[in-house]
Amino acid sequence: MKSPASRFSRCFEGKNGFTLIEMAIVMIIIGVLSGGGAFVMGMLTERKARNESIDYLHQAREALISYASTQGMLPSADTDQDGTGDGAASGGFPYLDLKLKPTDFYKRALRYEVDSSLTTDLQTACSALKAGLAGAPDVVDGDGSTTAFPVAAILVSSGPMDADGDGNILDSITAGTHQGNNTTGVPNYIRFPPTETFDDLVLYIGEHELYSELCEYLALAVINSSASTVYVYNHTAGSNLGTLTAGDSGSYQILSGTQASVRDANNGGGSPVVSSPDTPIFVAGRGYTIDVP
């Protein structure tokens, strides 16, 4: 004879032999597992998005350095969203000039700013790099530096969202030891680990790295043994290197590949004087000497 409890339990028995109570427990376990699974999947997707956007930033950075090596300058920023530079220092990443895809994992174009002295030609770029950059873009690197410093170029991915809720997908940090504004770059950009109110991803090209990639200087020595004053001229840069009176000599730092001449008039005027070797001449290698007998 069945007990009252057993009869009660069988009242709730499902067609496969499980009681409704057992089925409810199974459903709760499935719910917990599927909820946790969704959470884990969300985390993995977020990590994949972040890693792929960081990969894209590195591709863009490498492409910029390669472009500078072949073109002697960095590209200007894209201000009309067609992927090509428009002569501006600040705007979108000119992905077509670099032959890269237009957007990061978040389907957004990168922000790009370049020091304007680096977008003209090799002579101008290397002169600026040799002297040390002084203007925008500046960056505070949250890995250690609280003081902003100028960089050759900077790339900013917005990350997944407008984390600081200011209406722009790029973010700012306005309090604490490391501060910056990636929307304007004023007074500086900021590279910083993600927080609840900052999720941008930033890479930059430092001036010394670009200098070593781009600018090979050599010493051009000119010995004036003649009885006249001669003028040393840089044709590539369109500027004077120096003036040597009779019996004088000089040494000039010039970029490898520069065309130079020794002349009988200033500012590239007059004619080349007799020298060994004859000028104008393209100067390359580790060092060079021109003798004026």
Contacts of Ca ion in 11-70 (CB under 5 A): none
**Per rule CB under 5 A, is residue 121 in the interface with Ca ion?**
no
**Which stretch in 3-11, 26-34, 191-199, 282-290 sits in contact with Ca ion by CB under 5 A?**
191-199
Contacts of Ca ion in 125-184 (CB under 5 A): 158-159, 162-164, 166, 168, 171
Binder of Ca ion out of 86, 209, 213, 291 (CB under 5 A) = 86
**Per rule CB under 5 A, is residue 82 in the interface with Ca ion?**
yes
Give the shortest CB-133-to-Ca ion separation in angstroms: 24
Closer residue to Ca ion (CB): 198 or 231: 198
**Per rule CB under 5 A, is residue 104 in the interface with Ca ion?**
no
Give the shortest CB-165-to-Ca ion separation in angstroms: 7
**Per rule CB under 5 A, is residue 234 in the interface with Ca ion?**
no
Closer residue to Ca ion (CB): 36 or 187: 187
d(CA 229, CA 273): 10
**Which stretch in 86-94, 226-234, 270-278, 280-288 sits in contact with Ca ion by CB under 5 A?**
86-94
Size of the site for Ca ion (CB under 5 A): 15
**Per rule CB under 5 A, is residue 199 in the interface with Ca ion?**
yes
Residues in the site for Ca ion, rule: CB under 5 A?
A: 78, 80, 82, 84, 86, 158-159, 162-164, 166, 168, 171, 199-200
